[in-house]
A = this chain, B = another copy of it.
Amino acid sequence: MLYDIQSDKWREECGIFGIFARQENVALNSYWGLYALQHRGQESAGIAVTDGNVMDVQRGMGLVNEVFRHNLPDMPAHIAIGHVRYSTTGSSLLRNTQPLLVNYSGGQISLAHNGNLTNAHEMRQQLEDKGSVFQTSIDSEVIVNLIARSTKPTVEEKIIDSLAGVQGAYCLVIMTENKLIGVRDPHGFRPLCLGRLGEGWVLASESCALDTVAAEFVRDIEPGEMVIIDDNGVESRSFAKTDRRSGCVFEYIYFARPDSVIDGQSVYQARFNMGRTLARESGFKADIVISVPDSGTTAALGYSHESGIPFAEGLMKNRYIGRTFIQPEQKKRDMSVRIKLNAVASVVKGKSVIMVDDSIVRGTTSGKIVRMLKEAGATAVHMCVSSPPIGFPCYYGIDTSARKELIASSKQVDEIRQFIGADSLHYLSLEGLHASIGHIHEKTLCNACFNCDYPAETPCEGDCANNKFLFEPKAK
For A311, the chain B residues whose CB sits under 8 A away are: 301, 311
Question: Is A69 an interface residue, CB under 8 A from the partner?
Answer: yes
Whole-angstrom distance from the CB of A371 to the nearest CB of chain B?
Answer: 12
Whether A66 contacts B322 in the complex (CB less than 8 A), given A268-B347, A346-B268, comes out as yes
A128 to B151, CA, bound (A): 12
For A35, the chain B residues whose CB sits under 8 A away are: 318, 320, 325, 339
User: Which one of A97-105, A245-253, A379-387, A426-434 contacts B?
Assistant: A97-105
Question: Is A156 an interface residue, CB under 8 A from the partner?
Answer: no
Whole-angstrom distance from the CB of A16 to the nearest CB of chain B?
Answer: 17
Q: Mark A1-31, 1 if CB is under 8 A from B, else 0.
A: 0000000000000000000000001001001
**Inter-subunit contact A319/B294 (CB<8 Å):** yes
Whole-angstrom distance from the CB of A19 to the nearest CB of chain B?
Answer: 14
Q: Which of B310, B332, B344 contacts A268 (CB 8 A)?
A: B344
Whole-angstrom distance from the CB of A219 to the nearest CB of chain B?
Answer: 15
- Nearest opposing residue in chain B for A316, CB measure: B259
Q: Which of B134, B329, B338 contacts A211 (CB 8 A)?
A: B338
Question: Is A269 an interface residue, CB under 8 A from the partner?
Answer: yes
Question: Is A132 an interface residue, CB under 8 A from the partner?
Answer: yes
A72 to B261, CA, bound (A): 43
> How many residues on the A side are at the interface (Cβ–Cβ under 8 A)?
80
A312 to B311, CA, bound (A): 11
Chain A: residues with CB nearer than 8 A to chain B?
25, 28, 31-32, 35-36, 38-39, 42, 63-66, 68-69, 72, 94, 100-105, 124-125, 128-135, 144-145, 148-150, 208, 211-212, 214, 257-259, 261, 266, 268-269, 294, 297-298, 301, 305, 310-313, 316, 318-320, 322-326, 328-329, 332, 334-335, 338-339, 342-347
Interface centre among A31, A42, A150, A316 (most CB of B within 10 A): A316
For A343, the chain B residues whose CB sits under 8 A away are: 211, 259
Interface centre among A68, A125, A339 (most CB of B within 10 A): A339
**Inter-subunit contact B294/A326 (CB<8 Å):** no
**Inter-subunit contact B301/A313 (CB<8 Å):** yes
Whole-angstrom distance from the CB of A102 to the nearest CB of chain B?
Answer: 4
For A103, the chain B residues whose CB sits under 8 A away are: 124, 128, 133-134
A248 to B338, CA, bound (A): 28
**Inter-subunit contact B316/A208 (CB<8 Å):** yes
- Nearest opposing residue in chain B for A60, CB measure: B94
Pick 28 A–B contacts, CB within 8 A, sort by A.
Answer: A32-B335, A35-B325, A36-B318, A36-B339, A38-B318, A39-B320, A42-B320, A64-B320, A65-B322, A66-B322, A94-B94, A100-B135, A103-B124, A104-B132, A105-B128, A128-B148, A131-B132, A131-B148, A132-B133, A132-B148, A133-B145, A135-B135, A208-B342, A257-B342, A261-B345, A266-B346, A269-B346, A305-B310
